[in-house]
Amino acid sequence: MEELIEILKDIDPDIDYETCDTLVEDGVLTSFEMVMLVTDINQRMGVSIAPEDILPENFSSAKKIYELIQKSRGE
């Protein structure tokens, strides 16, 4: 989770990613940023997130994104 938080802080260091659960709704993550985030996660964390999983509901919070990473890893 720490590595994910670091990746998210590259997008906006002023957001409290530990508690925010409205990243998409609040416009912190736009569709473009979601795609860039997936690219960063794939490269930095060695995870392959499926295109069909790039949905707003999977990116509403760091916890949801981390669950998606775990799912992509088969955990």
Q: pLDDT, tens digit, for every residue of 19-74?
A: 999 999 999 999 899 989 999 999 999 999 999 999 999 999 999 999 999 999 98
Sorted by where each begins, the domain ranges of the chain are 2-73
CB proximity list for 57: less than 8 A, separation 6 or greater: 24, 64
Give pTM, 2 decimals: 0.92
Q: Which CATH number fits domain 2-73: 3.30.70.100, 3.40.50.2000, 1.10.1200.10, 3.40.640.10?
A: 1.10.1200.10
Per-residue confidence (pLDDT) for residue 75, from 0 to 100: 78
**31-45 helix and 2-11 helix, angle to the nearest 10 degrees:** 140
